[in-house]
Structure 1
Amino acid sequence: MTTIHFSGGTIWRGAGAPTARSLLVQGGVVVAFDDEADAAAVAARAAGPVESVDLGGGFLMPSFGDGHAHPLFGGLEAEGPAVRDCRTVDEIVAAVAEYAAAHPGEEWIVGASYDPSLVEEGLFDARWLDAAVADRPVVLRAYDYHTVWVNSRALELAGIDAETPEPVLGEIMRRADGTPLGTLREWGAVELVLDAAGVRPADERMRALRRAGEYYLERGVTWVQDAWVEPGDVDSYLEAAERGILPVRFNLALYADPRRFAEQLPVIRESRRRVDALGSPMLTANTVKFFADGVIESETGALLEPYCSGLHDHGDRGLGMTVWEGDSLRDAVLAVDAAGFQVHIHAIGDAAVRQALDAVEHAIDANGPRDRRPVIAHAQLVDEADLGRFAELGAVACMQPLWAQLDPLMTVLTVPRLGRARADRQYRLRTIDSSGAVLSFGSDWPVSSGAPLDGLAIAVSRRTPDGVPEDGWTPEEILPVERALDAYSTAVAHQAFADEASTPWGRIEPGASADLVLLARDPRDTPAGDLARVPVLATYLAGSPRYRAAT
């Protein structure tokens, strides 16, 4: 049994718990602190080796969790053209051309994630990609993963032309003559090309999962909620778990589609059974994912009051897109809740948040009391009347702190669509936290950075990395640093039902799994502008050092 004695730094055990100066871990489990830990370490040395870890004045804390992410998507980005860091359309086109030349045998060129704010209204033309590759299909996902930009060959192979009707739950952006422009929004339209492209090869998906896990370990994360899992993805995760190549713990949120939910539910149940039967400590499938709406920047987020940008002839879309019409979300949530799943609902706009909370409330009333921990993800815009309902219903608000800043996505695409007054009511982190609700943090990686310290820097300042605005955007929503640390660790563990695990994690206390991250300095004493640059020195999973920074 491996014994590790940590000392020489600050050991932050979780919000509200006293800090410690030393820690003893045996067999991957926290045993003792301070004088008791020191004495136990001396006794343990008499029986066998003890690894001594000098924290070097650093800050040891419960490892981070990511309450909402898309690790398979993130891992796959490295398989295609490198467009994420491109800052102009010409740079993207050049990157695609370079990739195509280096991969002449690749039938479909699939990549991610381009910046939709580079072009007015986020409308990208197929002909621009044709200049890079005309003879093979090209599909690029925007970094919101709700939009794709394709070339003319991809439109042709997907059968999308001027006569193609608007798909259910999707939008084909068109030129004045009705021909498809090359930008497709939301599932119904995006799937037309992704289905034509087919599933990525198994070896690519294995590399992607390994790459995603390593990415997270380097950033101090040991548990990830994959928030959009299709049946083929379950196969990939099972294969990776069987091969022992999952570097961190994953919980799968199995995707529920309103167009085919009736036939999906038995498949969802079977997916959970298969994961449970494997019995891997690295993999669970306890959650079902719903989309209540789209995103604000595409005007598909569902709002209680119409968009005010005047950028489109809204017609009946002035309030955005409601994915589950009528009572269908309520009924579907009721069904998966009755089957014992946790629900995880993407809800961006205030109308979507209300619909999600109504569905959760209905499930509680109909199915009776139990420990559900339903998750409302994003909660970008919440009506005043709904702010207190998270705590009342026991719903976890899983929010993305990195988005609470006036970056180009916000200033170019979001604020013009909401208007300033409504825009200033977004991402009410402190209000929801103060309401008594559980506030957990997620990154939505690869939509945005998966590094918790990047998100924490914004949560405690509401400033861009350049320090704008000086006092923070909507500064009343700034979180105290310990609350932000808790939201990215202990609160994610609550979301994950970690306290019900045979060896719980998320806090440093006797009997808990030694899931730890060592930071080079104390984030509580670090200026917000420097938080994102605090080095992660080591990440431990059940006492095992899964990552150590190079020295």
Structure 2
Amino acid sequence: MVLTVFHGGTISTGVPGTAPAAALAVQDGRIVAIGEDAEALLERAEEAVDLQGAFLGPSFADGHAHPLFGGMEGLGPQIRRCASVEEIVAEVARYAAAHPEQEWIVGASYDATLAEGGLFDAAWLDAVVPDRPVMLKAWDYHTVWVNSAALRAAGIDADTPDPDRGRIIRRADGTPLGTLQEYGALELVENAAPGYSLERRISALEDATRTMAASGLTWAQDAWVMLEHVDVYLEAARQGRLNTRLNLAFLAEPGRWQDSLATFTTVREQVNALGGDLLTANTVKFFADGIIESHTACMLSPYTDAPEDKGLPNWEQNELNDALAAVDALGFQAHIHAIGDGAIRMALDGVEETGRRNGPRDRRPVLAHLQVIDPLDVPRFAELGVVANFEPLWAREDDVMNLLTVPRLGGPRSELQYPIGSLIERGVHVSFGSDWPVTCHEPVPGLATAVTRQTPDHLPAGGWLPAERIDVDAALTAYTAGVAYQAFAEGEWGALRPGMSADLVQLSHDPRAVPTQELQDLRVLGTWLAGRRTHAALLPTTR
């Protein structure tokens, strides 16, 4: 068992009120000593890591991400950085010409602000790929843009009704425009498209976890796992191709969830049988609603720019109550996508009903995203023991906010968005995530945004909705101990104490010691998962 001692930098235990340590000793993947006790082991350590003045602390964790989706973005046309519709179309044309063997052209994820109202026309893609289906996912993963060949392949025409939990955007004459919103509509096209081979999907997942490790992450909640993708995770784990820990959240769907319960349990047993802790399957995911930008988030009051529309709830309250209680009875943790204030109230009501039916236990239900919370519901998070998962990178005044979100919400409702500070002040357990690949997987930009509520160019000057800003310690906690609490792992990782897993991140500077405007410039120099280096920007090891 190799004894490794980290020294020569600022070592933070991640425990509030604890002074920095001068050294940290690790053996067999576990922390064995901190501070003077670790310094005393330096002379007999087989490996000494000189931090060269850098910062070492608990590694980051992601409370809500989609690693497989993130990895698969590299398999199609590269459209994420395209700055216009014309650039997207040109990239699709280039990719299609380079891959004549592909039956479908599938890519992600385009910027929905590039077309008015986020509505994209099939004709724009038809002009460059008229003979093969094209399916492009928007950055929100709640919307797709397709060409006419894809519409035909999916059997979508003017006579096709909107499916449950989905919308087909139409022209004035009723024909489909080429933009589909929410899962009920998306699956019409996705079910017609051929999938990737098992090996390509495993490689994509391996690449995704390597990418996450390079940003300082050692654990992620994979927040949307279809049962047809389970073999990817199982085989990747068997082959030793995971570079971070992953916890799977199986998708529960309205009208179908009852038939899936036995499979959820069976797959959990298969994952447990693998042994080790890199893969777990303890969670079930619910989509309570969609997103504000496409008018599919469920709101208590109508949208300002659509006075007859309160959004698109995915569940009826009674069925959601039944499903939440059922998965809870099987020992699963509920993880609920809830963006609009109507969906958040529905989810809280469902959690409360679960407690009434199943009795008290430490269940830690998670509500994710939480864009607009009605003030009356804020106290309920602490009362019900709900973990509030935020994606802090969204809490800023960018093009999406100004062009799509605020026009739909109007005021004063727009000023209720992402109340991170308010929930922390009330003692709510808050965790941070990325929703990658919807937005950037790196915790450092999210850390900076949570503290400043500003864009990367430091706008607005005082921060957007500055009352909801939090300090650096609170933001670090949300990315470490906060996610560990969400994962029922607070005794295992999320802080640096003797006996805990040596899950570590090395940063170029101490986040607590740099000006807040420089937080976004922090670099990840190294990541360790249970003492094993999974990323190295520098190799400062001596001996």
Q: If the TM-score is normalised by the length of the shorter chain, which range does it land in?
A: over 0.9
User: Which of 457, 462, 465 matches 1:471?
Assistant: 462
Provide runs of 4+ in structure 1 moved above 4 Å.
none
Give, as a single letter, the amino acid of the residue that structure 2 aligns with 1:487: A
TM-score in terms of structure 2 length = 0.98
- Who is 1:423 aligned against? 414
Distance 2:163 2:337 in 1: 21
State the partner residue of 1:31.
32
**In 1: Cα distance, 2:265 partner to 2:488 partner:** 19
Q: Return the alpha-carbon distance in structure 1 between the equivalents of residues 368 and 304 of structure 2.
A: 24
Please tell me the residue identity of whatever aligns with 2:77: P
Question: Residues of 1 paired with 2:294 and 2:515: CA distance?
Answer: 35
Q: Secondary structure at the match of 1:163?
A: coil
Aligned pairs for 1:165-180 (under 5 A) are: 165-180=161-176
Q: Distance in 1 between matches of 2:468 and 2:220?
A: 26
One-letter code aligned to 1:156? R
- Per the TM alignment, residue 550 of structure 1 is displaced from its structure 2 partner at its CA by 4.7
- Match for residue 298 of structure 2? 302
C-alpha deviation, 1:322, in angstroms: 1.1
CA displacement at 1:525 relative to structure 2: 1.9
Aligned residue pairs total 538
Cα deviation, 1:289-347, whole Å, max 9, x if unaligned, reads: 0000000000100111110014xxx64xx111111113111110000001100000000
Equivalent residue in structure 2 for 1:260, among 256, 268, 276: 256
Matches within 5 A, 1:226-305: 226-305=222-301
Distance 1:389 1:11 in 2: 37
Q: Among 330, 352, 374, which residue is 1:383 paired with?
A: 374
Which letter does structure 2 place at the counterpart of 1:541? L
Distance in 2 (alpha carbons) for counterparts of 1:187 and 1:537: 39
Residue in 1 that maps onto 2:62: 66
| CA deviation vs aligned residue, 1:518-544 (integer Å, no higher than 9, x gap) | 001011122333222211000000111
Residue 340, structure 1, aligned to residue 341, structure 2: no
- 2-structure distance, mates of 1:244, 1:232: 21
Other-structure match for 1:105: 101
The equivalent of 1:546 in structure 2 is 534
Matches within 5 A, 1:305-324: 305-310=301-306, 315=308, 318-324=309-315
- Please state whether the residue corresponding to 1:486 is helix, strand or coil: helix
Task: List aligned pairs for 1:19-98, cutoff 5 A.
Answer: 19-42=20-43, 45=44, 50-98=46-94
- RMSD (Å) for aligned C-alpha atoms: 1.1
Give the equivalent residue in structure 2 for 1:457.
Answer: 448
Q: Which residue of 1 aligns with 2:516?
A: 528
Structure 1 distance, partners of 2:337, 2:255, is: 17
Deviation at 1:259, TM superposition (A): 2.5
1: CA distance, partners of 2:262 / 2:270: 12
1:129 counterpart letter in structure 2: L
Trace 1:82-231 onto structure 2 (pairs within 5 A).
82-231=78-227
Asked if 1:8 is matched to 2:8, the reply is yes
Distance 1:132 1:2 in 2: 58
User: 1:23 offset after TM fit, Å?
Assistant: 0.9
- Asked if structure 2 preserves the Cα contact closer than 8 Å seen for 1:2 and 1:28, the reply is no
Q: Of residues 487, 490, 506 in structure 2, which corresponds to 1:518?
A: 506
Counterpart secondary structure, 1:199: coil
Report how far residue 18 of structure 1 moved: 2.8
Distance 1:280 1:21 in 2: 31
1:170, 1:190 within 8 Å by CA — same for their partners in 2? yes
Moved more, 361-370 or 445-454: 361-370
1:446 corresponds in structure 2 to 437
* Structure 2 residues not aligned, in runs of 5+: none
Q: Structure 2: how far apart are the matches of 1:245 and 1:112?
A: 24
Residue in structure 2 matching 1:405, options 393, 396, 401: 396
Q: C-alpha deviations, 1:478-532, integer Å up to 9, x for none?
A: 00000000000111011111136xxx11110010000000001011122333222
Structure 1 segments unaligned to the other structure (5+ residues): none
Measure the CA separation in 1 of the matches of 2:23 and 2:310: 55
